[in-house]
Amino acid sequence: MTNKSNLWFEEALLPSGWARNVAIAVSDGRIEAVRTQIDPGPADDRYGVALPGLSNVHSHAFQRGMAGLAETRGPAGDDFWTWREVMYRFLDRLGPADVEAIAAQAYMEMLEAGFTRVGEFHYLHHDIDGGRYTNVGELAERIAAAADLTGIGLTLLPVFYAHSGFGGADPKPAQRRFLSNRDLFSQLLDASHRAVASLPGANVGVAPHSLRAVTADELEAVVGLAVDGPIHIHAAEQLKEVEDCIRWSGLRPVRWLLEHMRVDQKWCLIHATHLTVDETQRLASSGAVAGLCPTTEANLGDGVFPAKEFLASGGVFGIGTDSNVLIETAGELRGLEYSQRLTLRERNVLGPSEGDSIGGALFRSASTGGAQALGAPHLGLRAGAPADIVTLDREHPSLIGRQGDALLDAWIFAGGGKLVETVWRNGNRVVEQGRHRKHREVTSHYRTVVKALLSG
């Protein structure tokens, strides 16, 4: 039996631009037809403003459970590396059921924020003592189960992680839950494919963790396993990482990747914060996506991505919630633009030309770049795409009297986090009036799990 619905919107952001009086026919999870300038039919469900669902290119779902736990000042000089110690301690307690409950909470919050797809950079593979689970895909299956429960679209990116520093340094005990060799990684990759097989629209890529965690040979081997999935890697997030990379190879991390790998549209470089002008231009012309995570990068004190130069060179970016310290769509986009304003002491930086709406430019870039980064370039409000649709609350004070891109400007810069009203994912209405249909169930389970984790 086919499952059909007819939706009608006052305004919708289509690949060709804003349109009014838009009817979208949905059949079996896909957009069957988009018609504009049409009156609503008597059986149509009517809504205000429709946007395509955004892709969240970078998440470590389990870190949602430690959000806010690393905000106390230590004895001296807190930075990314001291945050990482808190994260490692949190991992000392996390079992498979905990991972699933925390991921479900994170994915539910993503949907409520307007993300309809997530790239899960999945590096937690083994048991608490570092031993293998009987089922090597145990935790991949937990991630898939959380995606299934909440309905979010999943790009699963199993991580290859083997070393604690450049040049193949031995891993540290705290990294025991992440580690692979090539053989084990092949098994994890197969298990990842099996884990997502029944999820609509899911796919699998590969994620060599960073140049700190893989050798050149391992990187080549892992990239070779990507087949038609995307390739994600952390790069140049921290200055120490850049300095260590230069000490190891004479080159900065992004430069090293551009010189040694065929970096192209299949690649997504996560963060890419510390770039020279030359690296910025070459990364932009490679066609790879820069996976920017402005909230986490600010939280961790990483630095500021040179977005103005990157976009001027034709670069493509997506946004990610990374540590999931706060899950927002508008907040990530706002953070990106504000980081540029603060460092350049200018306003309205990331619009390509005069007269461009900044909110519109940010949303469109994140939308197309995000879809590319997750190996799902067909996304958008168009016939044949999955029906991943987000509406904004037309009656919210910040949106009154706005149309077209002015709606995006108002949402991103003036709306706060609660303007998303209804979300369809693969044709299913999973969020209504800003709340996921399973909100109570998911949060109640999450509450029990996190209380137990933090009580000991």
Which residues form the catalytic set? 271, 322
Q: Residues 190, 193, 194, CA angle at the centre, nearest 5°?
A: 90
**Identity of the residue, 322 or 337, whose beta carbon is nearer to Zn ion in the bound complex:** 322
State the angle between helix axes of 358-373 and 405-414 in degrees (0 to 180), rounded to the nearest 10: 90
Number of neighbouring beta carbons within 10 Å of residue 237: 25
441, amino acid identity: E
Q: How far is the CB of 234 from Zn ion (least distance, A)?
A: 6
Q: Which is nearer to Zn ion, 83 or 424 (CB)?
A: 83
Residue 264's contacts (CB-CB under 8 Å, 6 or more residues apart) are 286, 287, 288
The residue among 126 and 271 lying less far from Zn ion, judged by its C-beta, is 271
> Using CB under 5 A, which of the segments 46-54, 206-214, 318-326, 411-419 binds Zn ion?
318-326
Helix or strand or coil: residue 328?
Answer: coil
**Only segment of 149-157, 317-325, 336-344, 417-425 that touches Zn ion (CB under 5 A):** 317-325
Closer Cβ to Zn ion, 48 or 320, answer by number: 320
- Site residue total, Zn ion (CB under 5 A): 1
Residues 319-348 that bind Zn ion (CB under 5 A): 322
Query: What own/partner pairs with CB < 8 Å and gap ≥ 24 does 436-444 have?
Result: 436/108, 436/111, 436/112, 436/150, 438/108, 438/149, 438/150, 439/108, 439/112, 442/101, 442/104, 442/105, 442/108, 442/149, 442/150, 443/105, 443/108
Nearer to Zn ion, 218 or 322 (CB): 322
CB atoms within 10 A of CB 181: 10
CA–CA distance, 100 with 103 (Å, rounded to integer) = 5
What would the DSSP string read from start to end of 40-58? PPTTPEEEEEEEEPEEEEE
Burial of 435 (0-12, 13-18, 19+ CB in 10 A): middle
Instruction: List, in order, residues 6 or more apart from 83 with CB less than 8 Å away.
Output: 70, 299, 300
Count CB atoms within 10 A of the CB of residue 25.
17
Euclidean distance between CA atoms 204 and 62, whole angstroms: 19
CB 58, min distance to Zn ion, A: 6
Nearer to Zn ion, 159 or 188 (CB): 159
**Which residues fall within 8 angstroms of residue 119, CB to CB, at 6 or more apart?**
55, 56, 57, 58, 59, 155, 157, 205, 230, 232, 268, 291, 320, 373, 374
What tokens appear for 92 in the block? 């000392």
Residue of minimal CB distance from Zn ion?
322
Q: For residue 158, list its beta bridge partners.
A: 122
Q: Are 11 and 19 in contact (CB under 8 A)?
A: yes
Q: Are 314 and 365 in contact (CB under 8 A)?
A: no
Which helix (H) or strand (E) segment is 204 a member of?
Answer: strand 203-204
Tell which positions 220-239 bind Zn ion, by CB under 5 A. none
- The contact set with Zn ion (CB under 5 A) reads 322
